[in-house]
């Protein structure tokens, strides 16, 4: 018995000694889908590049709430109990759950469209408290301009989104504003769950010359059914994120979520080095990647303008 | 599992304990499979979020949320009693309508309650750590609810309600107005769920229209887990069992979350939760089966 106790004490001492140099970063997302998973991987790799390597001096944990907000609240409390150096919540509800659960542990949210209206930051310049992060607000007017360039005779654009997602509603307002400025009208195609995406897209057929899908968790997780409708009816489909272009949308300009994760990691590193998160301004994810999909162009009956092809940072064949 | 995680699970279990009490009323007392709760839970959260943002007293916000929940239950009861729509279908209709209603109430799908005064705020001055204050306040609230409900179900009116659920024909023959019992029972059931939603928004920092998904499953699981652990005909114990069932359900989820020892991935969470709840349901039955076999 005494031996066991001694052994336990020794291993405990060892563990505390090791943890002196090890940093602990806990990551959580509301749901698992390719874009959010890419953010997570970006955070991990970004930390690695900054010298925090998993298995050496970084303890990296990840939990998904599988779409359930009560689980998100439980994950938040579990993380707070583990007392990590930084908590990185991905998406709005996860970030709110974590922010409600701790007033001390630094929080670096990411993939939140509008941190101020989500109650996470007092202002984007000075978030206040223990929270800062990265916003994934899409470069919306660039998207409208891209649609205009790809479909010169477009008059109205179908906007496929879930009215139940906070981010998407913000994006819809911005999109309408940008489209109006560029002389285009917007037709809403709402889908409350992934099973409704196809029907929503069909409802826009005949009314629009192009379709647009924002960074909407529901729609993006059922992207293939939307692509099917676009290809069937020769309607060009532009997406808000570049990851979706690889899955078969026509084109997008913006950031990829892996890059967003890396930008988040930079903020995490600043916090790890001792900066106060409340005074770090919210970062807006950047990136001017233009990605086009030649195969999708053929399927959707679009002649890709040479100017677009010349500018593209990546052409998917 | 850390202490904070454990008490966090207790806290959410107590919040969902109000849902369990509501589901017990509808499902066990009235024999009414009620999916309205998937809509009245986020409705309660939405109403509370809007009220708190407008600077209302948090207790008043809870009260209005409970009233809103009651209204949802009454709509379902109305469709069922007045027009004879099958109870399950009536509740599904209300539930899907509530999704749009909740979007209207908040004006957007997600609303922050962070940095607002809640019913818990004044108790933070007790000198206890935050993660203990929340479950403590909630425990007091739910004990009051359980006592009041037990009292209600033991009254003449409550006994008539139990009769209406157990055997509507017999109850009718004895002069019980079964329709009225369904109105009151469903109103009360969803008022409890609306209150749960309001409390959820306050302890989790946000109201989100998607937060209702699966509420009925959680409520039912809590009721059944509670019943399996505490078999009793005494109403007070049956009600308390629902609350304890809800807390156990949350602790099971917490275990599933921290079960990274067994080669489990985060994506396995729902599966692990289902297995844990199923085990809670199966084990007593196996024990009983062996007794019978003997």
- In this predicted structure, the answer to whether residue B292 has a pLDDT above a threshold of 80 is no
pLDDT at A284: 86
CA distance A148 to A234: 16
pLDDT at B261: 58
Q: Tell me if B4 and A77 make a contact (CB, 8 A cut-off).
A: yes
Tell me which chain B residues have a C-beta less than 8 angstroms from the C-beta of A77.
4-5, 7-9, 11, 131
Residues in a beta bridge with B110: B208
pLDDT at B262: 65
Q: Using pLDDT thresholds of 50, 70 and 90, give the confidence band for residue A14.
A: very low
- In this predicted structure, the answer to whether residue A25 has a pLDDT above a threshold of 90 is yes
- What count of other Cβ atoms lies within 10 Å of the Cβ of residue A250? 31
Contact status, residue A72 vs residue A97, Cβ threshold 8 Å: yes
pTM passes above 0.95: no
Q: Which residue of A has its CA nearest to B96?
A: A192
Best probe of the A interface among B15, B120, B210, B252, by most A CBs < 10 A, is B210
- In this predicted structure, the answer to whether residue A13 has a pLDDT above a threshold of 80 is no
pLDDT at B10: 96
- In this predicted structure, the answer to whether residue A5 has a pLDDT above a threshold of 80 is no
Q: Tell me if B208 and A80 make a contact (CB, 8 A cut-off).
A: no
Q: Tell me if B269 and A71 make a contact (CB, 8 A cut-off).
A: yes
Q: Using pLDDT thresholds of 50, 70 and 90, give the confidence band for residue A10.
A: low
Q: Which residue of B has its CA nearest to A73?
A: B204
Tell me which chain A residues have a C-beta less than 8 angstroms from the C-beta of B218.
70
A87 contact B CB<8A: no
Q: DSSP secondary-structure letter at A154?
A: -
**For residue range B250-267, what is the model confidence (pLDDT) as tens digits?**
988 888 887 665 676 667
Task: Compute the nearest-CA separation of A313 from chain B (Å).
Answer: 33
Average pLDDT in the A237-245 region?
A: 92
A73 contact B CB<8A: yes
Tell me which chain B residues have a C-beta less than 8 angstroms from the C-beta of A64.
266-267, 269
Average pLDDT in the B185-198 region?
A: 98
A164 contact B CB<8A: yes
**For residue range A178-193, what is the model confidence (pLDDT) as tens digits?**
999 999 999 999 999 8
Average pLDDT in the A112-123 region?
A: 92
**For residue range A31-70, what is the model confidence (pLDDT) as tens digits?**
988 889 999 999 999 999 999 999 899 999 999 998 899 9
Tell me which chain B residues have a C-beta less than 8 angstroms from the C-beta of A100.
113-114, 203-206
Task: Compute the nearest-CA separation of A308 from chain B (Å).
Answer: 36
**For residue range B14-72, what is the model confidence (pLDDT) as tens digits?**
999 999 999 999 999 999 999 999 999 999 999 999 999 999 999 999 999 999 999 99
Q: Tell me if A71 and B253 make a contact (CB, 8 A cut-off).
A: yes
Q: Which residue of B has its CA nearest to A170?
A: B108
- In this predicted structure, the answer to whether residue A16 has a pLDDT above a threshold of 50 is no
A289 contact B CB<8A: no
Q: Tell me if B16 and A192 make a contact (CB, 8 A cut-off).
A: no
Tell me which chain A residues have a C-beta less than 8 angstroms from the C-beta of B11.
77
Q: What is the ipTM of this complex?
A: 0.84
Q: Using pLDDT thresholds of 50, 70 and 90, give the confidence band for residue B95.
A: very high
Best probe of the A interface among B1, B3, B7, B8, by most A CBs < 10 A, is B8
Q: DSSP secondary-structure letter at A282?
A: P
pLDDT at A167: 83
- In this predicted structure, the answer to whether residue A1 has a pLDDT above a threshold of 60 is no
A91: region left, alpha or beta (phi > 0 left; psi from -120 to 50 alpha): left
Q: Tell me if A74 and B203 make a contact (CB, 8 A cut-off).
A: no
CB pairs under 8 A between A and B: 132
Which of A68, A101, A118 is the closest to B112 by Cβ?
Answer: A118
> Which residues 99-118 in chain A show a CB within 8 A of chain B?
99-101, 103, 117-118
Q: Using pLDDT thresholds of 50, 70 and 90, give the confidence band for residue B131.
A: confident
Q: Tell me if A73 and B9 make a contact (CB, 8 A cut-off).
A: no
**For residue range B26-37, what is the model confidence (pLDDT) as tens digits?**
999 999 999 999
Average pLDDT, chain B: 91
Q: Using pLDDT thresholds of 50, 70 and 90, give the confidence band for residue B235.
A: very high
- In this predicted structure, the answer to whether residue B168 has a pLDDT above a threshold of 80 is yes
């Amino acid at each position: 018995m005494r031996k066991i106790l001694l052994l336990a004490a020794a291993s405990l001492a060892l563990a505390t000694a090791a943890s002196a140099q090890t940093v602990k970063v806990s990551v959580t997302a509301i749901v698992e889908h390719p874009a959010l998973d890419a953010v997570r991987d970006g955070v991990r790799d970004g930390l690695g590049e900054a010298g925090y390597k998993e298995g050496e001096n970084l303890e990296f944990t990840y939990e998904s709430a599988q779409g359930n907000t009560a689980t998100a609240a439980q994950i938040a409390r579990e993380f707070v109990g583990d007392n990590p150096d930084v908590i990185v919540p991905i998406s709005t509800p996860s970030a709110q759950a974590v922010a409600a659960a701790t007033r001390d542990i630094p929080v670096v949210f990411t993939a939140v469209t509008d941190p101020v209206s989500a109650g996470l930051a007092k202002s984007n310049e000075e978030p206040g408290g223990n929270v800062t992060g990265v916003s994934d607000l899409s470069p919306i007017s660039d998207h409208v301009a891209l649609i205009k360039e790809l479909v010169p005779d477009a008059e109205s654009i179908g906007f496929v989104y879930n009215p139940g997602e906070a981010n998407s509603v913000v994006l819809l307002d911005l999109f309408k504003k940008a489209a109006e400025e560029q002389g285009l009208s917007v037709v809403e195609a709402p889908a409350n769950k992934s099973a409704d995406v196809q029907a929503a897209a069909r409802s826009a057929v005949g009314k629009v010359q192009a379709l647009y899908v924002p960074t909407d968790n529901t729609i993006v997780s059922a992207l293939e059914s939307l692509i099917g409708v676009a290809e069937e009816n020769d309607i060009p489909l532009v997406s808000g994120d570049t990851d979706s272009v690889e899955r078969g949308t026509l084109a997008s300009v913006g950031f990829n979520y892996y890059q967003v994760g890396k930008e988040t990691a930079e903020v995490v590193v600043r916090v790890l080095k001792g900066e106060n998160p409340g005074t770090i301004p919210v970062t807006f994810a950047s990136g001017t990647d233009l990605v086009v999909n030649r195969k999708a162009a053929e399927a959707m009956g679009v002649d890709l303008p040479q100017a677009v092809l010349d500018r593209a940072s990546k052409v998917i064949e | 599992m850390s202490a904070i995680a454990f008490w966090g699970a207790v806290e959410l279990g107590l919040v969902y304990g109000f849902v369990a009490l509501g589901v017990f009323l509808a499902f066990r007392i009235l024999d009414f499979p009620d999916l309205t709760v998937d809509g009245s839970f986020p409705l309660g959260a939405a109403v509370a979020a809007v009220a708190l943002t407008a600077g209302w007293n948090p207790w008043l916000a809870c009260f209005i949320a409970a009233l809103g929940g009651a209204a949802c239950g009454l709509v379902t009861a109305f469709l069922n009693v007045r027009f004879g729509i099958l109870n399950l279908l009536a509740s599904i209709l209300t539930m899907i309508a509530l999704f749009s209603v909740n979007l209207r109430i908040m004006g957007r799908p997600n609303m922050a309650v962070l940095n607002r005064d809640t019913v818990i705020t004044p108790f933070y001055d007790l000198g206890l750590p935050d993660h203990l204050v929340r479950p403590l306040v909630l425990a007091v609230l739910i004990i009051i609810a359980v006592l009041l409900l037990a009292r209600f179900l033991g009254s003449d009116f409550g006994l008539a309600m139990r009769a209406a659920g157990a055997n509507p024909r017999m109850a009718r023959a004895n002069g019980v107005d079964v329709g009225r019992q369904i109105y009151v029972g469903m109103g009360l059931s969803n008022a409890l769920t609306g209150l749960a939603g309001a409390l959820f928004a306050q302890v989790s920092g946000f109201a989100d229209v998607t937060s209702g998904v699966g509420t009925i499953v959680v409520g039912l699981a809590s009721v059944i887990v509670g019943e399996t652990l505490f078999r009793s005909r005494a109403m007070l114990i049956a009600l308390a069992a629902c609350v304890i069932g809800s807390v156990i359900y949350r602790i099971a989820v917490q275990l599933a979350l921290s079960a990274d020892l067994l080669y489990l991935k985060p994506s396995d969470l729902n599966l692990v939760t289902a297995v844990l709840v199923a085990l809670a349901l199966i084990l007593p039955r196996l024990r009983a089966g062996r007794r019978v076999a003997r």
